[in-house]
Chains A and B, each alone.
Chain A
Amino acid sequence: MSLWRQLTRGLRALVDRPAVERDVADEVEHFLDEATAALVAQGLSREEARRAAAVEFGNAAFVREQVREYGWENVISSFAGDVRYGLRRLRSAPGFALVCIVTLALGIGASTAIFSAINPILFEPLPYPRASRIMMISDFGVNGSNLDVTFGTYREVSARARSFDALAVMKPWQPTLTGSAEPERLEGQRVGAKYFRALGVMPALGREFLEAEDREHGPNVVILSENLWRRRFAADNSIVGRQVRLDDHAFTVVGVMPAAFENVLAPSAELWAPLQYAVSFTPDSREWGHHLRMVGRLRDDVTRAQAAGELDRIAHTRLPEFARVPWASLDSGFIVRSLQDEVTNAVKPALLAVFGAVLLVLTIACVNVTNLLLARGARRRGEFAMRAALGAGRGRMIRQLLTESLLLAVVGGAMGIGLAQLGVRALVALSPPDLPRLGAIGVDRVVFIVTLAVTTAIGLLVGMMPALHASRTDLRAGLEDSSRGSSGDHRGTRAALVVAEVALALVLLVSAGLLLRSLQRVFAVDVGFDASQLVTMQVQESGVRFDADSARYRFFDDALEAVNRVPGVSAAAFTSLLPLSGDIDVYGVHFERDADRGVLAGLAPEDGAALRYAVTPDYFEVMRIPLRRGRLLAAHDVAGAPRAALVNESFAKRRFPGGDAVGQRLRFGPDDGQWYTIVGIVGDVKQASIALIQQDAIYITPRQWHWGDKLMSLVVRSPRDPAALVPEIRRAIWSLDKDQPIVRVATMDELLAKSAVERRFALTLFEAFALAALSLAAVGIYGVLSGSVAERTREIGVRSALGASRGDIIALVVRQGMILTGVGVAIGLTGAVAASRALVTLLFGVSRLDPLTYIAVVVVLAAVSAIACWLPAWRAARIDPSVTLRSE
């Protein structure tokens, strides 16, 4: 009943507003009539009675408004009215509206784009069922870093640990697919049988690997990614059970992964085969090499800490059936961390810093719009005074003003989302290649909702202060003085906002400056070799004819010879590990001296691991890596000859402080009873990232290693443009065997640039944001000063009439602006010092308090704000006193 009434009356009010208005007016009028009549009856004259009744009644317009406002329909209709009115007001000031909308669109667009990039990486769980249960387990490396586990360790852990539902190890695999189409080298993984179970994703077609398939000499089976299945096998549903040729071997396809399967552990992998390592093995086999990553899914009732505790107990209690080797003794236990951490840790600081930066830009944009709204509010004081006089309540006026700012924000937000779509595309193009979950980046529903919420919040936020200001109008002052300036209090708020803007811009500029200086330092780092005039490519042997090591060595020897014959090549060499390429190959090292000492003192020998470079003797000449002591590797260091090894300088210094490392003997990798003798010491080379600490490295010739490498990188030095030689080098290798894939062709300079890509990524964004912040701050200062000049036209006119020179007036205005800048700089400096703490992990070779950066930024900011001050000052100086004074 009453609900029905609510509905019908409300609808009537919406449909026939005039009738309802008339009703309310009539009722109020009638009330007054009756009151007057009652007073007349008490003996007052008609006129007095009317006046008394009106006084008692109060503001009739206000009462009418109150009565009219009752009911749900009014919320709708007054909002609609506010929107209509707001649109009209904004249309009447298109310049103002455009500036506000564009400013907000830029701020919202940039932050939406950045948010949509970091959301899947940092905040969304990985795309696996109960992803938080997936753990990565690794050995302790040098300085507590992660070290890949050995197969021996994996075998022991998987037999003993009870905390995991599924445990698996994995290693990269690059088979060459041959068949109907041209040969293609694919990225894949060799994995333990329970790999997919650990991740919690099962093949969409076929089945996962069986335990029985993950044995030495097990069947050749392969699981394909959906993408590869589509690309190479035309999404053929009958693929399961069929055979494909990989590296000249027939592999049976047992499964196809679903399209939604995202393999975060190796994003580019397109096919998987079982690891198929031996179950029993000797210390000298590859099973004791640190080259596997281990992943495990926790049992439901086990926490990460409990699992870590169990692994620790396993590490410290040796069982006779699980022998260990010195370089995988597990004496320091294991590192257990979640897959999420593993995937995001490396990029987290950069992403959070970028996000912080974009939020600063958004804040500056908001401050700017607030400023513009305040200035506009000042110009509209007459309007507000009029509305207040006509009975508009303060709440009503605030609502109207907030509607206007919301309108601006919504239009800005809509444009912002459009900009974000473009921004995301640019971001993906610009991002470092190892940024995880690149495919998941996009403006999705979550991003949309967050943007909507942020936009609304911004609309209310930027409108609140101007609305409160404008509605606090002193009626009489506003009406009398609608044409002239604003109150001092008002000006104070705007000055405060400008100060805030300068301070925020300073924080951003300092951050960008620090990153820029870091990047300079990164490029100034000595990588340990001469990167110019070098071209490199990876050559792989593929096919059964290379299954014997001797055939491998011969192929690479022949290839080197063929490449050396190419005109323009001054020197060429092969290496198993290419610096700055992301290659990594680490083995345990064991010094003879330590072993003796360990035996004598009853201590376990000191463990350590070093990078293994299997290089042809010319490698050092090609790379121009300096020899510090002893000799380089030579052509006579072949199988059967005494094993020779080179170590890098810092490794030698650390292990043999004071003594000479040359002549010392060490075991490296699988223990086959033979020693390598250190014959020389070479300069340090950066292997991983140029910013990382120096890693230990051991160089040996390919023929003196325990097995032949299938995958080698060719490095070629040429006095001419080395990139131009690539086709001829390729032809030379293919003249030996046309089926050998050659990949990863790059000049060394390109690899050098790539290794700084993460920093460069952060820097590019910071530069863009800093530039945006700088221009917004300049616009803000300019806006406030020119507004203040406009308001003070009369005062300035009087001043110049009284004899102030143009210079005096310019000084007056500029001083006003520069004082604001100065205060902002002071506040911003403290903010920048605090904010730089968040950047520490991104900085390299530069203090977060680097004085040069701070000084340079202050100078730039001061210069820009001086320009922003100059324009209004110049305009002020041209004010003609006779004109302004007459116009008053």
Chain B
Amino acid sequence: MDQTTDVIQGTLDMLILKTLSLEPMHGFGIARRVEQVSRGVFKVNPGSLLVALQRLERAGWVDGEWRQTENSRRARFYTLTRAGRKQLAVETAEWTRRASAIARLLKAEG
């Protein structure tokens, strides 16, 4: 159960972008969503996640926005930008290409 996603940096970025493509979310929300949807296969390391969000924001793929939570704490919500959506498409295509190639190889071997 303990596989972590941040081994391959590219996949973490893609997973974040994918998650945000559904709705704007804060950091913990993203982590929980990834864990839930992958049925616990992927567990996001909080440090890596927050650094990745910084990186994605600098790259212009997500926008960060501070909102006030109900218990008057500040929370940062991330939204996917247009550029981010394009990037997600690129990364998804690339991932699918690789994954299917690997799948074909494994099948041929079997």
Q: CB-CB < 8 A to B27: which residues of A?
A: 27, 30-31, 34
CB contacts under 8 Å to A, within B51-110, are 51, 54-55, 57-60, 66, 69, 73-76, 83
Q: Given A9-B58, A62-B47, list of 13 further CB < 8 A pairs?
A: A2-B60, A5-B58, A9-B57, A26-B74, A27-B50, A30-B27, A30-B28, A31-B31, A31-B46, A63-B47, A63-B50, A70-B54, A70-B58
Return the contact of A63 from the options B29, B46, B57, B69 (Cβ within 8 A): B46
Cβ contacts A to B, 18 pairs, < 8 Å: A1-B60, A2-B58, A5-B58, A9-B58, A23-B66, A24-B50, A28-B50, A29-B73, A31-B27, A34-B27, A34-B32, A57-B46, A58-B45, A63-B47, A63-B50, A66-B50, A70-B51, A71-B54
Residues A66 and B57 in contact, CB atoms below 8 Å apart: no
Answer whether residue A35 sits at the interface, using C-beta atoms and an 8 A cutoff: yes
Return the contact of B29 from the options A26, A28, A33, A34 (Cβ within 8 A): A34
CA distance A61 to B59 in the complex (A): 25
Residues A30 and B75 in contact, CB atoms below 8 Å apart: yes
Return the contact of B73 from the options A30, A35, A58 (Cβ within 8 A): A30
Q: Closest residue to A28 on the B side, CB-wise?
A: B50
Nearest-neighbour CB distance to chain A for B9, whole angstroms, equals 13
CA distance A33 to B26 in the complex (A): 12
Residues B50 and A1 in contact, CB atoms below 8 Å apart: no
Q: CB-CB < 8 A to B60: which residues of A?
A: 1-2, 5
Q: CB-CB < 8 A to B76: which residues of A?
A: 23, 26-27, 30
Residues B73 and A26 in contact, CB atoms below 8 Å apart: yes
Q: CB-CB < 8 A to B66: which residues of A?
A: 23
- Render A1-44 as a binary contact track against B, CB cut-off 8 A, 1 for contact: 11001100100000000000001101111110111001000000
CA distance A71 to B58 in the complex (A): 8
CA distance A58 to B27 in the complex (A): 15
CA distance A30 to B69 in the complex (A): 9
Residues A38 and B32 in contact, CB atoms below 8 Å apart: yes
What residues make up the interface of A, taking CB atoms closer than 8 Å to B?
A: 1-2, 5-6, 9, 23-24, 26-31, 33-35, 38, 56-58, 62-63, 66-67, 70-71
Nearest-neighbour CB distance to chain A for B12, whole angstroms, equals 14
CA distance A29 to B76 in the complex (A): 11
Q: Closest residue to A67 on the B side, CB-wise?
A: B50
Residues B26 and A34 in contact, CB atoms below 8 Å apart: yes
Nearest-neighbour CB distance to chain A for B42, whole angstroms, equals 14
Q: CB-CB < 8 A to B58: which residues of A?
A: 2, 5-6, 9, 70-71
Q: CB-CB < 8 A to B54: which residues of A?
A: 67, 70-71
Q: Closest residue to A24 on the B side, CB-wise?
A: B50
List 7 A-B pairs, minimum CB-CB distance, nearest first: A34-B28, A2-B60, A63-B47, A70-B54, A67-B50, A30-B75, A26-B74
CA distance A5 to B64 in the complex (A): 12
Q: CB-CB < 8 A to A26: which residues of B?
A: 73-76
Consensus secondary structure, chain A interface: helix
Q: CB-CB < 8 A to B31: which residues of A?
A: 31
Residues B69 and A66 in contact, CB atoms below 8 Å apart: no
Q: CB-CB < 8 A to A35: which residues of B?
A: 28
Contact A58-B47, Cβ < 8 Å, known A30-B28, A31-B27 = yes
Q: CB-CB < 8 A to A5: which residues of B?
A: 57-60
CA distance A392 to B12 in the complex (A): 25
Q: CB-CB < 8 A to A29: which residues of B?
A: 73
Nearest-neighbour CB distance to chain B for A77, whole angstroms, equals 15
Q: CB-CB < 8 A to A70: which residues of B?
A: 51, 54-55, 58
Q: CB-CB < 8 A to B55: which residues of A?
A: 70
Q: Closest residue to A59 on the B side, CB-wise?
A: B47
Category for how many chain B residues contact A: 20 to 34
Nearest-neighbour CB distance to chain B for A583, whole angstroms, equals 78
Residues B73 and A1 in contact, CB atoms below 8 Å apart: no
Q: Closest residue to A10 on the B side, CB-wise?
A: B58
Nearest-neighbour CB distance to chain A for B5, whole angstroms, equals 15
CA distance A9 to B57 in the complex (A): 10
Q: CB-CB < 8 A to B29: which residues of A?
A: 34
Q: CB-CB < 8 A to B74: which residues of A?
A: 26, 30
Q: CB-CB < 8 A to A6: which residues of B?
A: 58
Q: CB-CB < 8 A to A66: which residues of B?
A: 47, 50-51
Q: CB-CB < 8 A to B47: which residues of A?
A: 58, 62-63, 66-67
Nearest-neighbour CB distance to chain B for A71, whole angstroms, equals 7
Q: CB-CB < 8 A to A30: which residues of B?
A: 26-28, 69, 73-76
- Render B3-35 as a binary contact track against A, CB cut-off 8 A, 1 for contact: 000000000000000000000001111011000
Nearest-neighbour CB distance to chain A for B37, whole angstroms, equals 15
Nearest-neighbour CB distance to chain B for A310, whole angstroms, equals 66
CA distance A23 to B67 in the complex (A): 12
Q: CB-CB < 8 A to B32: which residues of A?
A: 34, 38
Q: Closest residue to A57 on the B side, CB-wise?
A: B46
CA distance A69 to B106 in the complex (A): 40
Q: Closest residue to A69 on the B side, CB-wise?
A: B51
Residue among B51, B58, B75 having the largest count of chain A Cβ atoms under 10 Å: B58
CA distance A2 to B32 in the complex (A): 28
Nearest-neighbour CB distance to chain A for B33, whole angstroms, equals 12
Residue among B54, B57, B66, B76 having the largest count of chain A Cβ atoms under 10 Å: B54
CA distance A26 to B76 in the complex (A): 9
Q: Closest residue to B60 on the A side, CB-wise?
A: A2
Q: CB-CB < 8 A to A58: which residues of B?
A: 45-47
Nearest-neighbour CB distance to chain B for A20, whole angstroms, equals 10
Residues A1 and B83 in contact, CB atoms below 8 Å apart: yes
CA distance A167 to B83 in the complex (A): 72
CA distance A129 to B106 in the complex (A): 66
Q: Closest residue to A25 on the B side, CB-wise?
A: B74
Q: CB-CB < 8 A to B46: which residues of A?
A: 28, 31, 56-58, 63
CA distance A697 to B59 in the complex (A): 86
Residue among B29, B32, B55, B76 having the largest count of chain A Cβ atoms under 10 Å: B76
Nearest-neighbour CB distance to chain A for B57, whole angstroms, equals 7
CA distance A38 to B47 in the complex (A): 18
CA distance A496 to B29 in the complex (A): 56
Q: CB-CB < 8 A to A62: which residues of B?
A: 47
Residues B73 and A67 in contact, CB atoms below 8 Å apart: no
Residue among B31, B46, B54, B69 having the largest count of chain A Cβ atoms under 10 Å: B46
CA distance A66 to B51 in the complex (A): 7
Return the contact of B51 from the options A33, A57, A67 (Cβ within 8 A): A67
Nearest-neighbour CB distance to chain B for A110, whole angstroms, equals 47
Residues B50 and A31 in contact, CB atoms below 8 Å apart: yes
Q: CB-CB < 8 A to A67: which residues of B?
A: 47, 50-51, 54
CA distance A31 to B76 in the complex (A): 10
Nearest-neighbour CB distance to chain B for A526, whole angstroms, equals 81
Q: Closest residue to B71 on the A side, CB-wise?
A: A33
CA distance A29 to B58 in the complex (A): 22
Nearest-neighbour CB distance to chain A for B20, whole angstroms, equals 16
Q: CB-CB < 8 A to A27: which residues of B?
A: 27, 50, 75-76
Q: Closest residue to A2 on the B side, CB-wise?
A: B60
Q: CB-CB < 8 A to A31: which residues of B?
A: 26-28, 31, 46, 50
Nearest-neighbour CB distance to chain B for A781, whole angstroms, equals 47
Q: CB-CB < 8 A to B83: which residues of A?
A: 1-2
Q: Closest residue to B47 on the A side, CB-wise?
A: A63
Nearest-neighbour CB distance to chain B for A233, whole angstroms, equals 70
Q: Closest residue to A26 on the B side, CB-wise?
A: B74
Q: CB-CB < 8 A to B73: which residues of A?
A: 26, 29-30, 33
Nearest-neighbour CB distance to chain B for A8, whole angstroms, equals 10
CA distance A26 to B75 in the complex (A): 7
CA distance A34 to B28 in the complex (A): 6
CA distance A350 to B29 in the complex (A): 74
Q: Closest residue to B45 on the A side, CB-wise?
A: A58
Residue among B27, B28, B51 having the largest count of chain A Cβ atoms under 10 Å: B28
CA distance A71 to B74 in the complex (A): 23
Q: CB-CB < 8 A to B26: which residues of A?
A: 30-31, 34
Nearest-neighbour CB distance to chain A for B36, whole angstroms, equals 11
CA distance A38 to B36 in the complex (A): 13
Nearest-neighbour CB distance to chain B for A9, whole angstroms, equals 6
CA distance A24 to B74 in the complex (A): 11
Residues B51 and A38 in contact, CB atoms below 8 Å apart: no
